[in-house]
Structure 1
Amino acid sequence: MSSASSAEPARPSRRFATEIKDSLRQLSNQLSLLNHQVSAHLELKDVDLDCLELIGRHGPISPSALARRAGLHPATMTGILDRLQKSGWIVRERDPDAADRRAVTVRALRDRNAEVYQLYSGMNGAMDELLADYSDAELKLLADFLQRTTSAGHTATAALGDA
């Protein structure tokens, strides 16, 4: 009887853990589809939108640092940055703080942000409504979970990159 009762609490945890992992995979797929639609509306490649988001979040940033963050080869990054610059999303500027006078940083042009925000407004509005149903304590728990999940993803990605 004790073995049945000690095993019983593990079943719901395992079931909920499986549901959470499945939901995260579904969320990942859905966000990929949303990002693909946004990319299409902006006439960008999906990888270009990914890099534009990284530049907006971490920029100004060097092309090599951006390539590392994006997990892309530097030559691939050059093509992406050429496309983003040609279509008016970014600028390349000399890095005045660098020892090498040839060093460049990449910066997103803020006047184009409204185009991106508009395309994500449906999702952002839905998220605002959804989050309004949670208490501050629940939101803190969700934020912690998502940050830790993101960290686990970084670790898993790095491990695969090193393999």
Structure 2
Amino acid sequence: MESVPSSDARDRRRLTNGVKQALRETTLRIAQLNHQVSGKLGLRDVDYDCLNLLNLHGPISPGALAKLAGVHPATMTGILDRLEKAGWVARDRDPADRRATVIVVHRERGGEVRALYAGPNAEMDDICAGYSPEQLATIIDFLQRAADVGLRATREL
């Protein structure tokens, strides 16, 4: 005989599906925003993605950036050439190994990006103000774990 899910199990499944649906919608909306920002900055979407990765993880080697971005190293060369020509990054010698190169972001250009995100960042501050520190910590944990799922799934593909 097949068991019928309890009301609690149905509610949990409904809420879990709601979280996944909201995360999909959020991901799409952020991708659209980033597309608009990259266009305003005169960058291709992949170039802007790499600039974001450099801001999060840099300075790093071109090979490490290619791996993080999920692009072929030859493709990364073109991306870095465009970012360097536009004045967003520089190729510097790795202080730990003078034969190696690291990519460094020109921080002075950050104001251009911050200006484009000023409105959404202020709205996010307002949203976060409505949550307790404990709730914010839970949201951070969830988002970090969800990002890890996305990273693992990307690597598996």
TM-score of Structure 1 vs Structure 2, range by shorter chain: over 0.9
Letter in 1 for 2:84: Q
Deviations 1:74-108 (A, max 9, x none): 0000000000000000000122321xx44111000
Which structure 1 residue ranges, 5 or more long, are not aligned?
none
Within 5 A, what are the aligned runs for 1:140-155?
140-155=137-152
The alignment covers a number of residue pairs equal to: 155
2:9 alignment counterpart: 10
Specify the alignment match of 1:82 in structure 2. Answer: 81
Q: TM-score, structure 1 length as denominator?
A: 0.91
Runs (4 or more) in structure 1 with deviation over 2 Å come to none
Indicate which of 126, 131, 134 corresponds to 1:129: 126
Deviation at 1:60, TM superposition (A): 1.1
TM superposition shift of 1:67: 0.3
What does residue 157 of structure 1 align with? Answer: 154
Residue deviations 1:23-42 (CA, integer Å, cap 9, x gap): 11100100010000000100
Q: Deviation at 1:159?
A: 1.6
Q: Deviations over 1:13-53 (max 9, x none)?
A: 11111111111110010001000000010000001010001
Normalization by structure 2: what TM-score? 0.94
Tell me what 1:65 maps to. 64
Give percent identity, aligned residues only. Answer: 51
For 1:72, what is the secondary structure of its paired residue? Answer: coil
**Structure 1 CA distance for aligned equivalents of residues 141 and 95 of structure 2:** 37
Q: Distance in 2 between matches of 1:122 and 1:96?
A: 38
In the alignment, is residue 116 of structure 1 matched against residue 113 of structure 2? yes
- Counterpart residue number, 1:139: 136
Unmatched runs of 5 consecutive residues or more in structure 2: none
Distance 1:25 1:96 in 2: 41
> Hey, what's the Cα distance between the residues in 2 that align with 1:131 and 1:56?
23
C-alpha distance in structure 2 between counterparts of 1:12 and 1:26, whole Å:
21
Measured on the aligned residues, the alpha-carbon RMSD in Å equals 1.2
The alpha-carbon deviation at position 57 of structure 1 amounts to 1.5
| Cα distance between partner residues in 1 of 2:19 and 2:154 | 20
Aligned counterparts, 1:28-39, within 5 A? 28-39=27-38
